Amino acid sequence: MKNILTELFRTTSDRLEYLKDVNPIFNVPGNQEHGDISTNMAMLLAKQLKRNPREIAGEIINNLIIDPKVILKVEIAGPGFINFYFNPEFLTAIIPDILDKKENFGRSDKYKGKKATVEFVSANPTGPLTVGHGRNAVFGDTVTNMLEWTGYSVDREYYFNNAGRQMRVLGQSVKYRYLEILGQEEQFPDDHYQGAYIKDIAAKLYTEYGDTLENEPAEGRFKETAEKEIFQDIEGTLARIGINFQSYFNENSLYEEGKIKELLEIFKQKNLSYEKDNAIWLKLEELGNDKDKVIVKSTGEPTYRLPDIAYHRTKFERNYDLIVDVFGSDHNATYPDVMAGLKSLGYETQKIKVLIHQFVTIMDKGQAVKMSTRKANFITLDELIDEVGSDVVRYFFNMRSIVSHLNFDLVLAKTQSDENPVFYLQYAHARVSSILKMTKENGLECSSENLNLLTGAEEQSLLKKLHQFSAEMLYDSENFESHRITAYLEELAGLFHRFYTNCRIIGVEKKLAEARIALSIAVQTVIKNGLTVLGVNAPDRM
RNA sequence: GCGCCCAUAGUUCAACUGGAUAGAACGUUGGAUUCCGGUUCCAAAGGUUGGAGGUUCAAGUCCUCCUGGGCGCACCA
C-alpha cells in the first residue's frame, strides 16, 4: 500500500513543485478511524512554506490522480493529516500474490548484487557458549537472514583467537585437572577455568594417553586438545539452533600473512603512531577519541586493537558493501578505537554497522539466576536448549529490542499454552493445516475466484495486515530490528484466530468458503515466512 | 570520577526519520463455545511514560540537569 502511495506522490510532484522537496512518509495509524495509511507531510510542508497545513493538504489531495479501484477515499483530518482508505477489492489482490510467490513472498531485491558480512558469536574457545552468547548468536543469525531477505548475499563470520593469555590459562587448567587424575593434588588456581568441561577434557586425555603426558607442557597437547574439543562443542551447540558459519576467521592468520606488520608500518608512515615507554601507541586523541592507546606492548605483543583493525581491513579488502558486527554491551568501549583507526586509514567506516546488544538475565520462578563464568555456575546455551528447545530459544532471543535487557523467563518458555507466544504462533500455522485437511474432506478447494466476498471486518483487517508484511520485513532489515517481526507475527496470528472464530468455512456457501481457504493459506504462508527468517519452525501439527 | 546503554500498566515489553485518544501479551476479574483442534474467542479494570526544566503547531521519542540500574574504563580480549 505504501509503495502505491509513494508512486502516486512521485507522479503528482510534476504538478506540485514543493512535493519534490519532501520525502513522503506513510504510516499505518493505530486508530482505524484514521484510515488505512496516513501521512503528515502537509504539516511538515507547512513550516517551510509558511502556510496553513490543512490548506496544503487540500491542495495536495486536489492534485492527486486517484484510481477509485485502488483508493476509495482520501480525507484531511486533525491538524493536517492526509488519510487514505483503500478499496476492499484492491486489498484482496494480495492473496493471489502471496499464493503465487509462496515462500518468497515478502522478499525484496532492493539490495540485490550487494555483499555483506555479519560477524557474530566470535567467542574464543575457552568454554561452552553461555546464554549471553546465545542472544548474540541468534540475533546475528537473524540479522543475516533479514539481510538475505532484502537481496544481500551475506557471509556469516566467526572471528576467534586461539593464541594469547586466555588460551594459555585454558591449557594450564586442563593440565592441573590431568595431574589431579594422576593423584597429584595441587591447589587449583582461582583464576583458572573451573568448569566441569575442563575435567572432562583431562579425563579424555588420560583415557587416551595414560600418564605419559605428565611432563608435557600445558601449551602443547593440553591446550590443543582443549581448543579442539571446545570448538566442536560450540559448533555442535550452534548447529542445534540452526546456525552454520560460512567462515571462521582465525586471528592468527593475520600474523601469518603479515597483515599485522603491514598495518603497523602504515601507522608509522602516516605518523599515526609513536613510541613511548617501550610500547607503541596509536594517536587516538588526534583522531577524536578520548586518549591514545597502546597497540604494541613493551613485550612486543600487540594488544587486541591492532589485530582488530587489521581484521576489519580485510573486510574492506574483501569488498563488502555492508559490514555488520554484533557485540555484547561489554564491548561498547572497544569498537570506537577500531573505528577511529580504520577511519584514519581512509576507509569508509559508514559501511560498518556495530550492533550492541544488552545482557540476558535468566529468570526462574521470578528469581534471577546468578551467573559467573569463572565459578562455572552459568547456564550454558546447550542446557537452555535442552530445557526449552531450539524454537523457543530463537524466538525469545528475538522477541526484544537489542537495546533493552532481556529477561528470559524459564517458566514461561517451558509452558505450551497461549501464555507462550511461540506456541500461539505455531498453533495458528498448524491450525491452517488442520483446516485444509478438514475442508478437503468436505470437498472444498482453495480458490481466488471470489475474493471480493471477503468483506467482513475480520477479513479486511487480515488483508490489511498481510499488505504490510513486505514493507515490515524491509524496514526491519534496514534497521536491524528482528523483534518487530515477532510483534508483527503475533498481531497477524491474533487477527487470524479472531477471523477463524467469527468466519466459518465449513457450512457457508462454497464460493465464500473457498475464498476463506485462500485467505487462510495466505496467512499461513506469511506466518511461515516470518518464522523462517527468525529461524523458528512452522509445524503442520502440534 | 569518566564513557556507552536503559527507565513506559501488577509483570515482561511495543510504539515505524517527533504526529491524532501511549498499544500488546501475561496476570487479575467476568463472559462465550452443541465448533473446521478448549494450545480458541470476547469484555472489563489497570498509565502524571523515573523526576524537574526546555525546544516545537505537536514530545514516551529531541536538548539540559537530577535520581536509579546495566556494561565498560589495562601495556586482558
Give nearest nucleotide to A539 (CA–C1').
B39
Give nearest nucleotide to A361 (CA–C1').
B70
Give nearest nucleotide to A35 (CA–C1').
B20
Give the Cα separation of A490 and A394 in Å (integer).
Answer: 15
The reply to whether the CB atom of residue A76 sits less than 7 A from any atom in nucleic acid chain B is no
* A256 φψ region: left (φ > 0), alpha (ψ -120 to 50), beta (else): alpha
DSSP A67-91: -TTTEEEEEEETTTEEEEEE-HHHH
How far does the CA of A335 sit from the C1' of B70, in Å? 19
From residues 398-437 of A, which are strand B contacts by CB within 7 A? 399-401, 403-407, 409, 412, 416-419, 421, 423-424, 427, 430-431, 433-435
- The 3-state secondary structure of A374-400 reads CCCCCCEHHHHHHHHCHHHHHHHHHHC
Listed residue (A138, A145, A162, A484) closest to A326, CA to CA: A138
Cβ atoms of A537 and A529 within 8 Å: the answer is no
Residue type, position A515, single letter: A
The reply to whether the CB atom of residue A9 sits less than 7 A from any atom in nucleic acid chain B is no
**What is the total residue count of chain A?**
542
Model-level pTM greater than 0.80?
yes
Give nearest nucleotide to A501 (CA–C1').
B41
Tens of pLDDT, residue by residue, chain A (542 residues): 788 888 888 888 788 888 877 777 888 887 878 889 999 888 888 877 888 888 889 999 999 989 999 999 999 988 889 999 999 889 999 999 999 999 999 999 999 999 999 999 999 999 999 888 999 999 999 999 999 999 999 999 999 988 888 888 999 999 999 999 999 877 888 888 888 899 999 999 999 999 999 999 998 899 999 999 999 999 999 999 999 998 999 999 999 999 999 999 999 999 999 999 999 999 998 888 888 999 999 999 999 999 999 999 999 999 999 999 999 999 988 899 999 999 999 999 999 999 999 988 887 777 777 665 555 556 789 988 988 889 999 999 999 999 988 888 887 777 766 668 888 899 899 999 999 998 988 889 999 999 999 988 889 989 999 999 999 999 999 999 999 999 999 999 999 998 988 888 888 899 999 999 999 999 999 999 999 999 999 999 87
**Which bases along strand B come within 7 Å of a protein CB atom?**
2-7, 12-17, 19-27, 36-37, 39-42, 57, 70-77
